[in-house]
Amino acid sequence: MKTYSMKEIDNELYLGKFRLSDLAKEYKTPLYVYDELGINNKIDIFKKSFISDSFITTIVYASKAFLAPYLCKLLENKGLSIDAVSIGDLLLLKQAKFPMERVIFHGNNKSIEELNLCLDLNVKYIVIDSLRELKRLDILTQEKKIKCNTLFRVNPGIEAHTHEFIQTSLLDSKFGESINDSLIFEKIVDIYKHSPYLFLKGFHAHIGSQINVSSSFGKEVEVLLDFIEMFQKVNGYNVRVLDIGGGFGIKYLDTDTPLDLEETLQNVVKIVENKMKTRGLFIEELLIEPGRSIVGDSGITLYTCGGSKQTFSKKNLCIVDGGMADNIRPALYRANYSVDIANRVNGSEKYVYDVVGKYCESGDIIARNVILGKVKDKDIIVTHSTGAYCYSMSSNYNGSLRPAVIFVKDDKVKEAIKRETYEDLAKTYIF
């Protein structure tokens, strides 16, 4: 499960010109490390595969996977858009000087402050999640006399083959309005038709995350295009934009079934093109929102081993200096990861370990039943494919500090996020 430019030299793992063990020593552990060439390579795959002569194709990076100013600049240079879901996201993008005409704002309970900031910054689209939210935005645009382009989030009722916590389009999902609720859409259309400031450009949907079944995306597109056709006939209101969200899965283990990304993207484009020819639909812009699939398998986390022990039940434990505060996904989703000893990749003896963290929780387990050489005190342990939802979901649990984040490209290292200090941790405390 090595990243794009990771290699093994003399039984040690390298990223670019750097030994992982040297990076761990210089920047301390836990440490998030990104393979910049790997990110660039994945973006190139998306751009090559998601393209059409019939409509604009827009790749919107899903920032919840991971966001930092350095990554914003990389994405901007590659021509990608970015989504945001909070004031914090918007301010980071603004300070990073990311073009607001390439920002899309999401959320199922947007505050007045968030909506006002979106209007002031003139983001490309606000994705409306509900009739209630549309009414709220209608009032704000009239008060500010600002025009606003929107997409409306719909729930197509498609079951993605993924963990129940990251399915987002089942009929009882908290996101969007169901495509089966015709009464809701009558009210939605009425607001748009009578508003001089609100414009319904199209629809958005997202069926889930970490989806490795290509047919799920094909089914989503078919259902959404059928809905658009019906919506236009019933309401006499034309829409020209379709955003199918993201959820493109990556490999975490060697045994994982890989998603054929190129085939999946090309198939999505082909379905839309064919529907336009056979059904008289007209789509001006098709959007996707990959996040994990762009950064996930280009990120790793480095830990320092504090030693090992064997439980009474003969379970071998490799104990590291991080855990659920820097990677909550195993505890939250039972996510699985592959692990190596960075400074001794191929040990002569092999053991089965659970790699466990330092926090006061029985569920603080990073990886279960992984095969490693005999671990020793101060070994550098690398967890692969941690580029998505690890830093962004990290916490100060047990008074821990969020790790630093670095990007490696050939012979260059860029520190993108500094390690928190105890002074940082105490800033919000009141004594």
Quick one: 258 exposed, middle or buried, by C-beta within 10 A (0-12, 13-18, 19+)?
Answer: exposed
DSSP for 113-174 reads: HHHHHHHHHT-SEEEE--HHHHHHHHHHHHHHT--EEEEEEEE-----SS-GGGB--STT-S
Strands 103-105, 125-128: parallel, antiparallel or unpaired by DSSP?
parallel
Q: Are the beta carbons of 20 and 380 closer than 8 angstroms?
A: yes
Of the candidates 229, 251, 225, the residue with the CA atom closest to the CA atom of residue 388: 251
Q: What would the two tokens of residue 27 be? A: 């920047």
H or E element that contains 198: strand 198-204
DSSP for 368-383 reads: EEEEESPP-TTPEEEE
H or E element that contains 60: strand 56-61
DSSP state of 29: S
The rounded distance, in Å, linking the Cα atoms of 242 and 179 is 14
The rounded distance, in Å, linking the Cα atoms of 77 and 235 is 40
Angle between helices 69-77 and 36-49 (to 10 degrees): 40
* CA 333 vs CA 64, 232, 320, 324, 330: distances in Å: 16, 39, 20, 12, 6
Query: Of residues 118, 305, 360, 390, which has the active-site annotation?
Result: 360
* 318 counts as catalytic: no
The rounded distance, in Å, linking the Cα atoms of 63 and 82 is 6
The rounded distance, in Å, linking the Cα atoms of 221 and 244 is 7
Contacts of 121 (CB under 8 A, 6+ apart): 90, 94, 100, 103
Strands (E), 256-320: 285-288, 299-310, 316-320
> Is the preceding omega at residue 403 within 30 degrees of 0, hence cis?
no
The rounded distance, in Å, linking the Cα atoms of 372 and 379 is 12
Angle between helices 214-235 and 261-279 (to 10 degrees): 20
Which residues are catalytically annotated? 360
